[in-house]
Amino acid sequence: MGNSFGQLFRITTWGESHGGGVGVVIDGCPAGLELDAAHIQEELDRRRPGQSSLTTPRKESDTARILSGVFEGRTLGTPISVCVDNQDARPAAYESTKDVYRPSHADFTYEAKYGIRNWQGGGRASARETVGRVAAGAIARRLLAASGGIEIHAWVSQVAEICAEIDVAAVTRETVEANAVRCPDAAAAAQMMERIEAARRDGDSVGGVVSLVARGVPPGLGEPVFDKLEASLAGAMLSLPAAKGFEIGSGFAGAAMTGSAHNDAFHLEGERVRTRTNRSGGVQGGISNGENIVVRVAFKPTATIAHEQETVDSDGNPRTLEAKGRHDPCVLPRAVPIVEAMASLVLADAFLLQRARHPDQLP
């Protein structure tokens, strides 16, 4: 339960942080899509640990192996299984904390739910689980590009108190990947990297915000009432480890505006109905309106820090914990491809649902 996502384009992730491996099964991908391991590997390389001093030093190649569903470079329409072996797992490093509830981790809650937990790292609650999401998202991204030219870009827009000034229309993969923090604002990126490095030196961590734009999304995607497009996007983003907030369009800032200031006026541009502004973030009434979909996801500071913290063990005895191990001082740089993957999964599913209803309207 809770390990699968999507309706027509449906994925199930599997594996634990310090087990034998992690991966995903994708069901519902249409047949005939050009796909090989290199398409998946490109996205996994952006997510993998050990990229810079801003991330965990855990060394994983995250090499993707496609076990099923692809033949001679094309999808078969059958379930696609992707496996990534864990090569640098160190479960023994967590032996000393196997009976201790780490602050702001899922140790206590998993044990409360199941009566047992995998104390070797975070188990299923670890961000290592997102390997499967990124692999599946890479396939969804190819489906979207092949079907309608939809493109998706995420970037770090805030680290701690440092905010970037970004022209959403100008964001590209190249501008995002131009620096280790994945922020297209070079001046802000330099400050962000310095802030993350300072947190790492202090044995602490910082959080921030990842923003995303989806361009070329046709109008009509989304399933009211309970499966509104923004609700699906929110659920996808808030299912990510460390995600604590979601906004679309004007978000919470819209609460301080009047209707006359907030409304997106319509006009005709050639043969296409457009809005002059995009405070709705590309979604109205739970359905895409053809404008750019713009969302923001807030991530908390990494829970594992090298400071002494008060906690208790599984018997309720007071304990003092000073965490050891290899952890990101800030999850934001590696969260960028994961946010893109989840948006790709939501939009691919919505696209297939709409095409099933109106096959004449979509390619």
Output the pLDDT for position 292: 98
Structural domains of the chain ordered from first start: 4-357 (3.60.150.10)
Output the pLDDT for position 123: 86
The residues of the chain scoring below 50 in pLDDT are none
Output the pLDDT for position 53: 67
Residue 344, both tokens: 């790709």
Output the pLDDT for position 327: 77
Contact 17, 120 (CB under 8 A): yes
Output the pLDDT for position 325: 59
Residue with tokens 């998706």: 152
- Rounded Cα gap, residues 311 and 321, in angstroms: 7
Nearest to 11 by CA among 151, 152, 139: 139
Output the pLDDT for position 186: 97
> Rounded to 10 degrees, what is the CA torsion of 301, 302, 303, 305?
-110
Report the b/e string of 22-36 with b at 16+ CB within 10 A. bbbbbbbbbeebebe
Output the pLDDT for position 236: 98
Output the pLDDT for position 94: 77
| Model pLDDT for residues 237-250, shown as the tens digit of each residue | 999 999 999 999 99
Long-range contact set of residues 314-318: C-beta below 8 Å, sequence gap at least 24: 314/99, 314/100, 314/101, 314/111, 315/99
Output the pLDDT for position 77: 98
Please name the residues in contact with 31: beta carbons below 8 A apart, sequence gap of 6 or more.
74, 75, 76, 77
